[in-house]
Structure 1
Amino acid sequence: MTAGFTEAELLQRTFKLPYIAIAYINERGGSLTLEKYKVHLYIPRDALAKGPPQMVYVFVDPSAPPVDGVNPPYVALSPMIQCGPTGREFLDSVVLSFPHHASNEWDLSTRMCHSNEGTPKIWQALDAETDGAMVLRRDNKMVLLLKHFNLFVADGIPCEASAKMMKTGAFGSLYDPSDARYAVRIHVWNNDPVAEKKVIAMENDLGSTPLDAYRDLQVFYNQGDVNATIDNIKTGWEMEEKTPKEQKILKTSVWQFPTNSVTFDLTRETNDGATASVSNQPDKSPPGCDSFVYQLKADSADSSWEGHKVRLSVRPKQGRSSPSAEIPERQEEESCQMCHQNPSSNAGICAACREELKGALTDNTGKETDGGLGGLSKETVKKFSRFLKYESGGRSNTMRLAEELFGQGTKLIATLRRGMANPAKQVLKLYFSFKREDHVPDQDAVVGLLEVFSSLDMEEAVRIVHAELNTQG
């Protein structure tokens, strides 16, 4: 893919697909983002030794496999995120952020695995001294300061109030008046973009679309199965004889698999209640019903107790079904190593993905090879670090700045209190990483930092910022 490129050309190229981003980075640092999966990697300046560009990548498996090997009492609470090459070490910690689906009651931590091969995987807790640490929860995302690359996942030990945030939705094809039957699938999935995009991809393959907006669903660890029911069926339609109106998704499945679903089959009635055929059914109006999704009480067969009940409206639009709506036959050959759907061909990659790869190598935007802290010079960063070491009102300026930027009671604050190398630079690194992730221009990020310093009455820091801005013109 990169054969024949000079070092300068490698620095100007980025290989990017929705689920993987690859760049060549040197001592200037840089950043990589998987926008659709909300994964962001920030490599600060001087995190890599001076020398030829080194390959780095971030990857999310779009097939959303279950996280195996995270054993009780721990529970996996995010998709797996791979940063590579595995084992790549840094002179200064890098910032990785990725989504989780845990409720606020969890005390989240992070585990790593040295290899994506084999089952079950062997996960271990991060060692703050040698591996790095999870330091923040931000916008339903984990934020890590890492010293080397591996496979990562968020986890936690459940308590009485622990739950995971999920989504539920109803899917079906266009209603074909010539068909006396209609299938409705109710999905329940982890509230993270990896699981959601898997559900959408599966339904696209079946020629189906959402029948209603997705709904939030909170599933508690100490409660029971998730129930899905069909009610208020439109006159002229009924459930097929062998399809129950109430179906359960086992609690064990909800917590093991990122996505789960059940199918309800509706069929038209004749005027006397008999199942319709195309020839004897004059009324071919579309089907309609409501689906209710909720969690049952733990160890209870009584479905009268229910948690928060979510209603989904099933009102399909009319249209001819496309051939793609039929369930594809199972392929015996190995699947593509990229999309995990089509049969593989040359080198394990299907023809469709090979076409996609041709356009994946593009010129980068500059951010991929720029890890500078908001464009601040090295000398300015050193001045900040010296100033933030001092105390004001009996508290270190670093701690005051961190609490103002990220809030009190975070793991970062606890880590700062325990002591960490160059704490001021770590705080600045996190700030500028977040601004980069939020698409804030560097100069605007520096101005924002100036406003924070002003609000904290850090006059020396304000002077340092003004001097830097004057230098930049």
Structure 2
Amino acid sequence: MEDDHNIDRHQANVPNETLTSIPHEDTTDEDRQRDLELFNKLSLDRDKLIREGTIPLRVQLQTNFSSNNFASGVFDHTGGHLSLPRHDINLFIPPGAIEDGRLQTIHIFVPPSMHRGKPAPVVHCGPTGTTFLDHVILSFPVDPNYDKIVPKFTNTEVGSEEDWKPLLEDDDAASIVQNGKCTLFLSHFTGFGADATEEGASPDKKMIRVGAFAAKHTSDDGLYKLRIRIYDASAAASEGIYNKERKLFGGRLLDDDKRMQIYRRGGALCVKMCGISRGWKTLDDSDENQVKFS
């Protein structure tokens, strides 16, 4: 199921030639490559200083790098942690998990857009194949509205076609799912995530997602077109909407879409614009539109 709701905004007193960027925190593959290149440079600079005896070892272990979707650091046998606060993702490395006398570079990141339409973010821990003497602990949020969350892992490389398997098939891993959080106990690094199942679906109810889409810039006429899309809650339907937006409008999701349960016989769904910033106004007189469901 899909429905489009177009809302035009007009920026007051803006010349037609002005191009207004809309802030967005999406991270692209190019951004990720820049993150890795910068961290590699920091690592090389750090190694050079250590070889020259300029800085002590304890300073080396404080050299971390992070962005919205990427965090990395160097750890020894004392352990430590990495976090992605935007995604509420945390990795804890306990003391003794890394061999005494060994330094280990570790990173975690969320591939761009891969978590959209899914009950949990996709988290890649690396370097892929890194093993530990004791279990490390990875935690990430899951959608609590699903009946059952199934933690999964993939041993495939980032960027290749992923082969997801239930974490239960990994004999040296364990998981706990409760209170909207999935906690994994891991002995090696790869990609992790989760799928969900819903039980006893009612014919009178339907799970949907609602997302706001727009292009990165205003058009030449100064209008900024915002599309509110309502679509099936499945990952396949969500991916189809994202591809359609990108191909037809150069659009993208402005924020995480929201999962909702609706009643098929409950009347129309109202979409209302509110909190419009100063300097902007809706093109028509109404800030509210209705979408009917059958």
Greater RCO, 1 or 2 (C-alpha within 8 Å, sep 6+) = 2
Task: Provide the residue aligned with 1:157 in structure 2.
Answer: 197
Quick one: structure 1 residues 150 and 313, their matched pair in 2 at CA, closer, same or farther if it must change by over 3 Å?
same
Instruction: Please tell me whether the aligned partners of residues 208 and 261 of structure 2 are also in contact (alpha carbons under 8 angstroms).
Output: no
SS in 1 for 2:171: coil
- The normalised TM-score by structure 2 is 0.58
Task: Provide the residue aligned with 1:135 in structure 2.
Answer: 176
Task: Provide the residue aligned with 2:126 in structure 1.
Answer: 84
Deviation, structure 1 residue 34: 0.6
Task: Provide the residue aligned with 2:113 in structure 1.
Answer: 64
CA distance in 2, matches of 1:307, 1:119: 44
Counting only pairs closer than 5 Å after superposition, residues 47-62 of structure 1 correspond to structure 2 as: 47-61=97-111
Higher strand share: 2
SS in 2 for 1:48: coil
- Count of equivalent residues: 216
CA distance in 1, matches of 2:72, 2:222: 50
Is 1:309 aligned with 2:292? no
Higher helix share: 1
Counting only pairs closer than 5 Å after superposition, residues 90-129 of structure 1 correspond to structure 2 as: 90-106=132-148, 108-117=149-158, 119-127=160-168
CA distance in 2, matches of 1:174, 1:316: 17
Quick one: structure 1 residues 166 and 30, their matched pair in 2 at CA, closer, same or farther if it must change by over 3 Å?
farther
SS in 1 for 2:273: strand
Instruction: Please tell me whether the aligned partners of residues 169 and 312 of structure 1 are also in contact (alpha carbons under 8 angstroms).
Output: no
CA distance in 2, matches of 1:52, 1:187: 51
Deviation sequence 1:280-302 (CA, Å, 0-9, x none): xxxxxxxxxxxxx98788xxxxx
Task: Provide the residue aligned with 1:334 in structure 2.
Answer: none
SS in 1 for 2:86: helix
Quick one: structure 1 residues 11 and 66, their matched pair in 2 at CA, closer, same or farther if it must change by over 3 Å?
closer
Deviation, structure 1 residue 8: 3.6
Task: Provide the residue aligned with 1:24 in structure 2.
Answer: 74
Task: Provide the residue aligned with 1:46 in structure 2.
Answer: 96
Counting only pairs closer than 5 Å after superposition, residues 315-464 of structure 1 correspond to structure 2 as: 319=279
Deviation, structure 1 residue 51: 1.5
CA distance in 1, matches of 2:169, 2:233: 37
SS in 1 for 2:237: helix
SS in 2 for 1:27: coil
Quick one: structure 1 residues 294 and 32, their matched pair in 2 at CA, closer, same or farther if it must change by over 3 Å?
closer
CA distance in 2, matches of 1:310, 1:146: 45
CA distance in 2, matches of 1:59, 1:145: 18
Task: Provide the residue aligned with 2:14 in structure 1.
Answer: none
Is 1:254 aligned with 2:254? no
Deviation sequence 1:282-325 (CA, Å, 0-9, x none): xxxxxxxxxxx98788xxxxxx745883532268556489xxxx
CA distance in 2, matches of 1:79, 1:122: 16
CA distance in 2, matches of 1:294, 1:164: 6
Deviation sequence 1:395-429 (CA, Å, 0-9, x none): xxxxxxxxxxxxxxxxxxxxxxxxxxxxxxxxxxx
Instruction: Please tell me whether the aligned partners of residues 175 and 319 of structure 1 are also in contact (alpha carbons under 8 angstroms).
Output: no
CA distance in 2, matches of 1:100, 1:165: 17
Structure 1 residue runs without a partner (length 5+): 68-74, 189-225, 227-248, 263-292, 298-303, 322-473
Query: What is the letter of the counterpart of residue 30 of structure 1?
Result: G
CA distance in 2, matches of 1:135, 1:186: 35
Deviation, structure 1 residue 255: 4.6
Instruction: Please tell me whether the aligned partners of residues 130 and 147 of structure 1 are also in contact (alpha carbons under 8 angstroms).
Output: no
CA distance in 1, matches of 2:228, 2:197: 29
CA distance in 1, matches of 2:196, 2:233: 21
Instruction: Please tell me whether the aligned partners of residues 146 and 197 of structure 2 are also in contact (alpha carbons under 8 angstroms).
Output: no
SS in 2 for 1:49: coil
Deviation, structure 1 residue 115: 2.3
Query: What is the letter of the counterpart of residue 20 of structure 1?
Result: F
RMSD: 4.3
Quick one: structure 1 residues 47 and 182, their matched pair in 2 at CA, closer, same or farther if it must change by over 3 Å?
closer
Structure 2 residue runs without a partner (length 5+): 1-40, 51-56, 246-258, 282-294
Deviation, structure 1 residue 99: 2.1
Instruction: Please tell me whether the aligned partners of residues 172 and 185 of structure 1 are also in contact (alpha carbons under 8 angstroms).
Output: no
Task: Provide the residue aligned with 2:4 in structure 1.
Answer: none
Question: Which structure's CA Rg is the greater one?
Answer: 1
